[in-house]
Structure 1
Amino acid sequence: MTGIRITRRTWLIPAICLAFILFFTVFGERGLLRIYEMRQEKQRIEHTVADLRIENQKLRSSIEALRSDRHQLERIARKELGLVRPNEVIYQFPPSGSK
């Protein structure tokens, strides 16, 4: 009988240790789940960076157009600031559908 109890204890202690190690391998701070989450976050950040690079390039193109193209600058000044040339007449109409 005592030989059977020793055998059970012999298997129980390594089994508990193995379960402990597996738990932290999967769920620990540096476990498999955390690694998966970090990879997902890395992909989201890389996507955001790619979008920001595209937007940055568009803004650089706009800046270059404003520096080199006087017509572009005039168009924006007229549209956004409402500027007009001397002796120009501006006609303003009410929005359609209003009385």
Structure 2
Amino acid sequence: MKGPFQKRVYLILAGCITFILFFTVFGDKGLLRIFELRQDMARVQARLGDTRAVNETLKREIVALKGDHRYVESIARKDFGLVRSNEVIYQFSPETKP
């Protein structure tokens, strides 16, 4: 009589352990979810670093635009094609190769 009862206890324990292991690995707060969240966090931190670098560049450009007249002049020349009143511009057509 002890034999079948003991088998049932072992099966119930094995089932409980399997159930617990399944949810430990595959559950909402399981190991796989933790791994995915860590990967997401690494990606977000990389994007944050890139965004901070862009922000620093933009801050330096704002300071230059507010205080450096030579920088403003170079932007006006490069982006808008502006020239001073006493300057002469020579334009050459691009060479064509035979």
Structure 1 and Structure 2 fold alike (TM over 0.5) = yes
DSSP 3-state at the match of 1:89: coil
1:97 positional shift: 3.8
Residue identity matched to 2:77: R
What percentage of aligned pairs have identical amino acids?
49
**In 2: Cα distance, 1:81 partner to 1:35 partner:** 52
Look up the match of 2:47: 48
Aligned residues: 98
Q: TM-score, normalised on structure 2?
A: 0.91
**How far apart, CA to CA, are the structure 2 residues paired with 1:5 and 1:72?**
89
Choose 12-21 or 89-98, whichever is displaced more. Answer: 89-98
Residue by residue, what CA displacement relative to the aligned partner does 1:62-93 show, whole Å, maximum 9, x if unpaired? Answer: 11001101111011101100111113221112
Which structure 2 residues correspond to residues 11-50 of structure 1 after superposition, within 5 A? 11-50=10-49
Query: How far apart, CA to CA, are the structure 1 residues paired with 2:66 and 2:57?
Result: 14
- 2-structure distance, mates of 1:68, 1:98: 45
Which structure 1 residue ranges, 5 or more long, are not aligned?
none
C-alpha RMSD of the superposition: 1.5
- Aligned residue type for 2:36: E
